[in-house]
Structure formats: C-alpha cells, structure tokens
Amino acid sequence: QQQVKQSPQSLIVQKGGISIINCAYENTAFDYFPWYQQFPGKGPALLIAIRPDVSEKKEGRFTISFNKSAKQFSLHIMDSQPGDSVTYFCAASKGNTDKLIFGTGTRLQVFP
C-alpha cells in the first residue's frame, strides 16, 4: 500500500515532442503528489506538485494530470528540450510533513 510505481524507466523523445511519465499508487490516504527533477550528482528539485482536489495543474511546459479514481498521476513535458534530459521522480505523501514515498525514477533523453 505504500508503493508508488513509476513508468517508464527510461524515455527517449525528440526535441519539441511531448514527454509523458506515469505513476500509480495504492494508498488512498495520499494527498500530496509532487514531481522532482534530479540532475546528476545533485539533490532532487521540486518541479511541480498537485493535490487530489484538482485533476490538472500546469506550470509553464510542465503539466500534472491526476486521476483519483484510477489512482494515477502523470507528468507531461511539452516542447521537450535537450536541457530536460535528466531523471524525474514522482512521489506521494499523506498528512502534514509526512515522509515522501518515491517512484523508481525515469531517465529522460531529449535528442535534437
């Protein structure tokens, strides 16, 4: 019930295309779903996050789609750029300042 399953493990997208990364969870008590971007040798950086009271959140080229009934959420990167070529982690947590449960990560490669 504590797992967050992330797919795909790796993703190759052409420049300008849409990158889509999916996550699924089991615990219906989760109420916070962030996406993190991690550059090599650095800690994760918060990219965008959503709570279950909305189905979509957009910030610039990044959009989270959230499907509460399916217990799934996804990250869409529009107009993907070579600079987006890093690792992305989804996560979930419940309550206030509770621990984050991370997905397994997706290594994105955007080629020119």
Partner 1 sequence: GAVVSQHPSRVICKSGTSVKIECRSLDFQATTMFWYRQFPKQSLMLMATSNEGSKATYEQGVEKDKFLINHASLTLSTLTVTSAHPEDSSFYICSAGVSGNIQYFGAGTRLSVL
Instruction: Name which position in 8, 56, 98, 111 contacts partner 1 (CB under 8 A).
Output: 98
Of 7-36, binders to partner 1 (CB under 8 A) are 31-32, 34, 36
**Alpha carbons 90 and 85: distance in angstroms, whole number:** 16
Which one, of 1, 5, 21, lies nearest residue 13 by Cα? 21
- Are 69 and 5 spatial neighbours (Cβ–Cβ below 8 Å)? no
- Are 51 and 68 spatial neighbours (Cβ–Cβ below 8 Å)? no
**Alpha carbons 75 and 37: distance in angstroms, whole number:** 11
Smallest separation, CB 94 to partner 1 (Å): 8
Smallest separation, CB 110 to partner 1 (Å): 19
- The answer to whether residue 49 forms part of the interface with partner 1 (CB under 8 A) is yes
Question: Which of the stretches 13-21, 58-66, 67-75, 86-94 binds partner 1 when contact is defined by CB under 8 A?
Answer: 86-94
Q: Quick one: tokens of 70?
A: 């399916």
Binding interface with partner 1 (CB under 8 A): 31-32, 34, 36, 41-46, 49, 89, 93-100, 102-105, 107
